[in-house]
Structure 1
Amino acid sequence: MRYNDLDDQVKADFLSYGITTVQLINASDADVLEVFARLNSYSVKVTPAELRHAKFDEPVKWAIWNTTRKWGVLWDEYHVVSIRDSVRLKNTTLIAEMYMAMKDGIGDGGEDKVTSFYTSHKKLSDDDLEPITTQINTTISEAVEWFGTLLAKTTFFDAPNFLMLVTAIAFVKGIMPVSAVSESVKEVRGVGVNLDKAREQLGLLSAAVENEDVTGAYSEFVLATKSSTQRVSSRKVRFANIARALAR
């Protein structure tokens, strides 16, 4: 049956039916998806990141949240974390790991480690967190400015290796402390970044990953990228390769 087949009263009822709408002015794709995720959240299993956001209300939570929101370009344009995963706050996990690395050096990752960081750093004040936030914002900005055009479509702008890239920049600049992951390349801490060398070497590493070259000069990096990306064993290999590529 079509509209023209309806009798006049049904047509009138149809045309007078009210529909509630909400207009989102100047909203990004991520903003729109976030609204829909919230409306439909009753049917979706809550993620660990969403649980943390609901459970914690200390400055450390808000510092991580605000930094995540500040870097919308990473999710909207570069898709370091997909928009869909960002709606579920999984991008806060990546940013939280940057706070963990800047504070204590990079180690094992994963949701449990992030939750432990929130718990153990409840007493940090806004003043305590401000210099860490500044370091993270500066280093992300450098990663995007220096490598965004060249490496946007490569492994270095996927979350696991983007984390390694940002933290390696901080390490080579002397900002991030030595840890189990960075111990093997502690000699390059603080030596500074050689951009020309870095662009060339990171390009070679990304090409090896793209070509799945598990027998060539960068096979360790390729295999580590393909393995569990949260464990120290994988991170040590990837971090060392990136740090050496960056170092003067």
Structure 2
Amino acid sequence: MYAANQTSVSASIPRAMQQTAAPAISLTGAQQNELLRGLSREELIDLFAHLDLVPLEAGKRLFDAGEAMEYAYFPTNAIISLQYVTEDGGAAEVAVVGREGVVGVSMYEGERANCCAVVQTAGYGYRIKSAVLRQAFFGGGALAQQLMRHTSALFAQLAQTVAGVRHGSIEQRLCRWLLERLDRSLSNELKVTQEMIANMLGVRRESITCCAGKLQEEGLIVYRRGTVTVVDRQGMERRAGGCYSPA
């Protein structure tokens, strides 16, 4: 069964992504997601039969606001942005999820998404039918506890985002945005553009350019086209102030 899954996954992965080793399709591979790693071996084995490893390409929309959530995703090395979209098509990020959690959890049959989920950093994740995950949740145990803990953490992240918009400077919000991705990245190098950051923070690109230039002058980051490398994490945390707390 695992060999068959490996063939189907490899065939669907773009050449550029195949150059980077994919997480193994195994219990150990699934445990690269911290929420799944928190389960007992018995619980993970029961769930594993329903998990499929899938490539998550940058820009892929996993679901849109108002859609029924057919699948939930446990990222391993991908980073997913949860965004609120306005009537005029504008988007603002409300939370970000990486290997620590899950997106697309639906605890009620027919429940629809209240935001959209977009892959921001390409990678891989384990996909499961929402109906299967819902059934497992109501079975109790460590999975239910992990999912409730994750939901609580998402609410805390959302509250921090709202507080940052109200009280934080653009520079503080930029630092928080970069740090949140650094928490979920396997390196200190982030593939992002100033335009992407500006759109997610709901500010002008020129403001991000100015703040990023200042952070670079102070030796906190190195910015090249499409890539931000954080070289002084502690300095970034100090600059973020109350806008950021570790994931």
Bin the TM-score by the shorter chain.
0.3 to 0.5
Q: 1 or 2, which has the higher helix percentage?
A: 1
TM-score (norm 2): 0.34
Higher-Rg structure is 1
Q: 1 or 2, which has the higher strand percentage?
A: 2
TM-score (norm 1): 0.34
